[in-house]
Amino acid sequence: MYEELRKAVCDANIELQRQKLIIYSWGNVSGIDRSAGAVAIKPSGVTYDELTPDKMVLLDLDGNVIEGALRPSSDTPTHLELYRNFEAVGGICHTHSPGATMWAQSCREIPCFGTTGADYFYGSIPVTEVMTEDAIQNDYELNTGKVIVRRFAGIDPMKMPAVLVANHGPFTWGKTPAMAVESTVVLEQIATMALGTITINPNQGPISKALLDKHYLRKHGKNAYYGQGFPKAK
């Protein structure tokens, strides 16, 4: 049971390492089986070389362990809060990938400076508010989820599958664990390029609404015409 979910989550975690976006045991990917109400997530503090599907920890949406001998990622309450609030999300990824983390540490959103971002993210990558002392000291990981959810008031998380947690780093998501990882890979590229862009031109503004619409919607809209005839799941 949950075999497919375990494997998808394990594979997505390992892909993070293959993409050189994590070192040691940093980062974690989870996935959800909505019909079963079960979330699978990487165990805490385990390095990627040791990961196998049977080591994934299974929990319900309230955080009760269903299966698994290991302790789940310490960031689990953040993942669960996102699953509870972003109902179309099927996988979540958290890393300290350097480019995105530079921006998160600066408490600055990443402006949509070009079509590379617009192909995946419908606008600038939002950054959360800085967390209060109280929110840090009590239920920190749950509150990390809450500041993300609060930042997404009025934003469709499926059109903006990434956020920067201020002073911390990125969380990304997607329809599946693999797509959550893809969001991280692309986020890292656009974060790195955005740093170069503001170095070249500190006054550069974001692209026009027309260009954002064109690129985002040619891949993701009803009338998408990128790819092989089937609009990419979004």
By annotation, the residues acting in catalysis are 119, 226
Residue 7 near its own copies by CB under 8 A: no
In whole angstroms, the minimum distance from the beta carbon of 134 to its own copies comes to 9
Among residues 115, 126, 158, 221, which is the contact residue for its own copies, using CB under 8 A?
115
In whole angstroms, the minimum distance from the beta carbon of 222 to its own copies comes to 16
Residue 130 near its own copies by CB under 8 A: yes
Residue 223 near its own copies by CB under 8 A: no
Residues 47-76 that bind its own copies (CB under 8 A): 70-71, 74
Of 33 and 44, CB closest to its own copies = 44
In whole angstroms, the minimum distance from the beta carbon of 38 to its own copies comes to 22
Residues 200-219 that bind its own copies (CB under 8 A): 200-201, 204, 207-208, 210-211, 214, 218
In whole angstroms, the minimum distance from the beta carbon of 103 to its own copies comes to 6
Among residues 79, 168, 220, 234, which is the contact residue for its own copies, using CB under 8 A?
168
Residue 17 near its own copies by CB under 8 A: no
Closest by CA position to 6, among listed 44, 54, 67, 71: 54
Closest by CA position to 94, among listed 178, 180, 174: 180
Q: What is the SS3 string spanning the chain?
A: CCHHHHHHHHHHHHHHHHCCCCCCCCCEEEEEECCCCEEEECECCCCHHHCCHHHCEEEECCCCEEECCCCECCCHHHHHHHHHHCCCCCEEEECCCHHHHHHHHCCCCECCCCHHHHCCCCCCECECCCCCHHHHHCCHHHHHHHHHHHHCCCCCCCCCCEEEECCCEEEEEECCHHHHHHHHHHHHHHHHHHHHHHHHCCCCCCCCHHHHHHHHHHHHCCCCCCCCCCCCCC
Q: Which residues of the chain form contacts with its own copies (CB under 8 A)?
A: 23-26, 43-46, 70-71, 74, 96, 98-99, 101-108, 113-116, 130-131, 133, 136-137, 140, 167-169, 182, 185-186, 189, 192-201, 204, 207-208, 210-211, 214, 218, 225-229, 232
